[in-house]
Structure 1
Amino acid sequence: MTTTVEPVTEVDPRYGETGAGPRPWAEAEALLAAAPLSWVSTVRPDGRPHVTPLLTVWRDGALHFCTGAAERKARNLETNAEVVLTTGGNRWDEGLDVVVEGTAERVRDRAELVALAGAWEKKYGPVWRFEPTEEGFADPHGSALVFRVRPRTVFGFAKSPSSQTRWRFPQA
């Protein structure tokens, strides 16, 4: 599902080839929707960073992820909800890498959890089938909290030609 609000798009000429223009938001959004793996960066209570890979679903203009309540990232989010999610091709000579900055919010609405559970299964297959619960998701391995990150700022690092695009989203 696509974003309903178009971001302000800027290119920073300091970090790209001469004449390289901004990449379109639709390209970054498609990458976020299709990414098989993303990395979430959170901040521990003592200020140290914590980074871990996870599966994400792009829906209604936001990235969604889930994690067990006892996992480090969930515990970090209890004291600091600011996150960075990254994904891309991880190559220096081709593709687009995307960095999403925003605030993680718990998803608790039953209808939204049902839709997200369906989106996870559609994207990742039946091994990622979740049952929506009062707290988030359940599966044979336990339960998980579900988070939504609406982008505040997104950076796109393109190669060939190299450029850095920044997309800024209006905040509600």
Structure 2
Amino acid sequence: MTQPLLLSSAAEDFLAENHLCTLTTLRPDGSPHVAPVRFTWDGESGLARVMTTVTRRKARNLLAGSGARAAVCQVAGGRWITLEGPAAVSTDPARVVEGIRRYAKRYWSQPPQPPGLAVIEISVERAMGLY
């Protein structure tokens, strides 16, 4: 198991703010799929989490191929940060509950919980930005 990526305090502070975000995954044909999302950052484990359902395109893209990767990008004016790494879709109840807990803490409300709820976990290996 690798060590989580350590971010600067400025990056951690920016990630704690509530801003517009996008998630980029690759479709089976290799073309990018970019979707607006809300996400949470867990600096201790190095995981970015996105709540979704297994039937959404972003989840299907990640489930379609081995070695799937994703990038989440937060933007606020001229400030931005992109977090990239291998991504997995999980319906494991403990992982989904943890995703919901973190989402509710960051956004002060529960995420929608339709059938097939899942969490995308990105093991962040690279971060870049201007914050």
Please say if 1:151 is aligned against 2:104. no
- RMSD value, Cα: 2.3
1:42 aligns with 2:29: no
Residues 30-84 of structure 1: CA distance to partner in whole angstroms, max 9, x if unpaired? 2223333310111111111110110101123211002222211111112342111
1:6 Cα deviation (Å)?
5.5
Tell me which amino acid in the other structure corresponds to 1:88.
V
> Among the aligned pairs, what percent are the same residue?
27
Superposition deviation, residue 109 in structure 1: 4.7
Separation in structure 2 between the aligned mates of residue 109 and residue 69 of structure 1, nearest angstrom: 12
Match of 1:63 in 2: 48
- State TM-score, norm by structure 2: 0.79
Q: Closer, same or farther in 2 for the Cα pair 1:113/1:142, shift >3 Å?
A: closer
1:142 is paired with a residue whose SS is coil
Structure 1 spans left out of the alignment, 5+ residues: 8-23, 131-138, 159-172
User: Deviation at 1:86?
Assistant: 0.6
Q: Who is 2:87 aligned against? A: 104
Question: Rg: which structure is higher?
Answer: 1
Report the CA distance between 1:118 and its aligned residue. Answer: 1.8
Partner SS, residue 15 of structure 2:
helix
The residue that corresponds to 1:85 in the other structure is 72
Check conservation: 2:80, 2:130, Cα contact below 8 A. yes
Question: Deviation at 1:27?
Answer: 1.2
Distance between the aligned counterparts of 1:6 and 1:48, measured in 2? 27
Question: Any unmatched runs of 5+ in structure 2?
Answer: none
User: Helix, strand or coil: the match of 2:73?
Assistant: strand
- Secondary structure at the residue paired with 1:39? strand
